[in-house]
Amino acid sequence: MHDFPLIVFDLDGTLVDTAPDLISALNWVLAREGLAPVPLESARKMIGQGARRLIERGLEAEGREMSMADVTRLTSDFIDYYAEHIADDSKPFDGLIAALDELEASGYRFAVCTNKLEWLSKRLLEQLRLTERFAAICGADTFGVAKPDPVILQQTVAKAGGRMSAVVMVGDAGPDIGVARRASVPVIGVEFGYTDVPIAELKPDLLIGHFRDLPAAVARLLPAMTS
């Protein structure tokens, strides 16, 4: 355990704008089933609870019911396709790199806690050349639990070498606010992510609309440690 403040980020809709590639993969799966594509803007709100839930919500949007076995098959096909196209159009949100640079210089370290599969998360961050930024990259399958279960956040912090008393969560949707609350960790909400409930209504401790505002928000909730 080390005395450094740790910032734990959600991935999709928080660090990286992954919607174009996720929805492209979803629409590829839907097209194979003879279904119409889901428009990108409305589909953005479907993201954030893992691949299977995205498939289920895509089918719901089309009014199509399928068996659990069929959904499992589509989810597997989706993941295969998505893995090959994971960074075609996905990119870090504006201002992220500068914010990380500023925070790192102030002594903060970073981790990722996502409901995306760990290997897909690592593949995405590797292709975006962001892997080295994070002390831990943990997904829904890393510890066998997903957000908002507090265990995933607690274990992510432990894997990063941090401690729960010096953590702030940054996320864009209900699972992020929920996991932070259950783990008694302060949380910053980002307004540019993917959520079917407006992030302000979920009442994060602070709200930012651009990454340029992250360093000041973090400093308010989790001051840098000078020792």
Instruction: Catalogue the active-site residues.
Output: 10
CB 55 within 8 A of CB 29: yes
Residue 137: which of 109, 158, 154, 114 has the closest Cα?
A: 114
User: Which helix (DSSP H) or strand (DSSP E) does residue 16 occupy?
Assistant: strand 16-17
- CA-nearest of 141, 174, 170 to 155 is 141
Helix (H) or strand (E) run with residue 168 in it: strand 167-171
Q: Is 69 exposed, middle or buried (0-12, 13-18, 19+ CB in 10 A)?
A: exposed
What is the rounded (10 degree) CA torsion for 180, 185, 186, 192? -30
How many Å apart are CA 45 and CA 5, to the nearest integer? 31
